[in-house]
Amino acid sequence: MGAVKKDMLVFLFWGAYLTILTFLPSDRLTSLLALTLVATLIFFLVTIYIFTKKIYIWLHELVSRLKFSFDETEPKSESMYKWKDLLLCLEASLDRASLDFNDAKRELKEVRSKYETILDTQSDLVFTIDDFGYLTYCNQAFSDFMEMKGPEGDFFDTDFENDEKIAEILNTCDKDVLEEARQSNDGFQFVSTTSQYSGNNYIDWVVKHICSDGEGLTGSYLFVGRDITKECQVSEENRRLENLATIGKLAYTISHEMGQPMTTIKLVASNLELLAQQSEISDQDLRASVTQKGLKIKKQVERIDKIIRDLKLFSRGSIIFKPFDFFVAVTEMIESINIVQPCCLSINISQTSRPIIVLGSQVLFQQAAANVVENSIYALSKNNYTNPKLVIEASLSADEQVAMLSITDNAGGCSDETLKNMTKPFYTTKKAGDGSGIGMALCSSIIEKMNGKLECRNLEGGFQVTLSVPVAVEDTVHI
């Protein structure tokens, strides 16, 4: 556009010169009016120079009409000839400017199309928004990922549904990211962040604020993202397998070490029962009490033996799944907890017209549930609450596809760090000797083996753990 700029400056100079030469009279007032006319003409021409296509078209049409008028009438003075020549020069300058403008616009469109084509072939998610949050550009990968709706080549900032999708991404980003990006306008510095979209996809974003003025007050935000959901899933699966391996080794060690002592206790309990029956104890109530206590010891030892056998299978990754009644298992677990450590419980077990059958190890499921209940009892006793509450609820999901056991206490909850690490092996908040840090990790692994999940969350003034396992299909199980 350099040639056009030069021609326009020459035109301004000669226009001012000819205007003064033609209209400048001798008196001062008229001279000032003439100079004002020249200044107005220059201002008008400078305004035209703001390269808008419509002004060029309008001015070109005006010059053409003036030239046509000069062509229709014979010039009567030398100044009229000069004005005619000036109009010819102006028409030529405008023609050249129009051609240069169209060439520049076409070149810009080709460059834009070229880069948009390149961006549309990339797997990275690319989009830009203005300072008001409206989408101004997105590549094909982002459009497909967001399932954008709208005609090809059209901006989607008028589509309410798409605006909500963009807002969801912006809301999940760190609140300080956009402000930090705005303040980092120099060079190629980007601000990084990770967001979670629709609760399923994890995306790594880099953000750059691109200024459209020298002061950085206005501009657009460029977002370039990469979907890292698969990497997160692989990382989570590796973490889970690592935990399972650790717990498996630990389970094998525990089962191996507990085997011999349990055999001894079982033998002693049997001998105690036999001696009570053969001895000449005159007090029948005492004899019955000794016999009953021996039977209870044997029953609990047999339960521990079953846990040890299942732990060995668990450590080998070959736990045997068998159908069992979910609500019956929960009831037995509660009775077991009351025997070991009595506690005032609020129990709510849903009543159903049929047994709710799940697949897994009943004894290991009961052990996992009992461990959670005992943790709540420990938390309540540790803090010496005057009005401790422990609520155990067994129920079905709304679609009756998942059996759920919730254990809720009012022991004040836990910190975010504890909540995050609770199911990791060897993590414990108990005093040395009170806990090993494997209880919740083992519980989580047992439930995962049963294709279920263990969820922990803080409540107002308390804590809740929910064990969820899928209900078995009736046609595939037999009790």
| Residue 332, pLDDT score | 87
**Strand residues in 171-268 grouped as ranges (E):** 191-197, 201-211, 219-227
What phi and psi values does residue 148 have, to the nearest 5 degrees? -65, 145
How far apart CA 167 and CA 182 sit, in angstroms, is 18
- C-alpha–C-alpha distance, residues 406 and 347, integer Å: 10
Task: Give, as one character, the DSSP assignment of residue 69.
Answer: H
pLDDT tens readout for residues 401-423? 899 999 998 888 888 888 887 87
Q: How far apart are CA 347 and CA 140, in angstroms?
A: 55
Q: Which two tokens stand for residue 223?
A: 């977002």
Amino acid identity at 165: K
Domain boundary among 171, 205, 227: 227
CA dist 135 and 166 (Å) reads: 8
H helices within 147-223, ranges in order? 160-172, 177-183
Q: How many domains does the chain have?
A: 4
Residue 157 has a pLDDT of 43
Same domain, residue pair 431 and 445: yes
CATH number at residue 285: 1.10.287
> What is the C-alpha separation between 387 and 406, in angstroms, rounded?
20
Looking at residue 432, which CATH number applies to its domain? 3.30.565.10
Q: What is the pLDDT of residues 191-201, one digit of tens each?
A: 666 665 555 67
Same domain, 166 and 130: yes
Q: Are residues 475 and 331 in the same domain?
A: yes
Place of tokens 């889970």: 240
CA gap 403, 397 in Å, rounded? 6
- Using CA atoms, how far apart are residues 140 and 130, in angstroms rounded to an integer? 19
At 428-445, the pLDDT tens digits run 776 654 555 667 877 888
8 Å CB contact between 209 and 184 = yes
- Co-location of 218 and 129 in the same domain: yes
- Write out the H or E segment, with its range, that includes residue 241: helix 229-278
> How far is it, in rounded angstroms, from Cα 53 to Cα 142?
34
Residues 325 and 459 in one domain: yes
Residue 408 shares a structural domain with residue 325: yes
Residues 169-179: tens digit of each pLDDT: 666 565 566 66
> Does the pLDDT value for residue 469 go beyond 90?
yes
Last residue of a domain, one of 182, 211, 227: 227
Of the pLDDT bands very low, low, confident and very high (cuts 50, 70, 90), residue 479 is very low
DSSP state letters, 288-331: HHHHHHHHHHHHHHHHHHHHHHHHHHHHTT-PPPEEEEHHHHHH
What is the span of the domain harbouring residue 80? 2-116
Reported as a single tens digit per residue, the pLDDT across 131-157 is 777 777 788 888 887 776 544 434 444
Residues 308 and 243 in one domain: yes
CA separation for the pair 384, 370 (Å, rounded): 21
257-274 residue pLDDT tens: 777 777 788 777 777 777
Residues 60 and 88 in one domain: yes
- In 3-state terms, what secondary structure has residue 91? helix
Q: Same domain for 348 and 419?
A: yes
How many Cα atoms within 13 Å fall on the side-chain side of residue 256?
7
Copy the structure tokens of residue 474.
Answer: 């009736």
pLDDT at 151: 43
pTM to 2 decimals? 0.44
Residues 472 and 326 in one domain: yes
Q: Which uninterrupted H or E stretch holds 392?
A: strand 390-396
- Per DSSP, the chain holds a count of helices (H) and strands (E) of 13, 12
> Contacts for 474-478 with beta carbons within 8 Å, 24 or more apart?
474/357, 477/323, 477/357, 477/359, 478/323
Judgement on whether residues 245 and 341 belong to the same structural domain of the protein = no
Residues 304 and 325 placed together within one structural domain of the fold: no
Last residue of one domain, picked from the residues 187, 207, 227: 227
Query: Does residue 312 surpass a pLDDT of 80?
Result: no
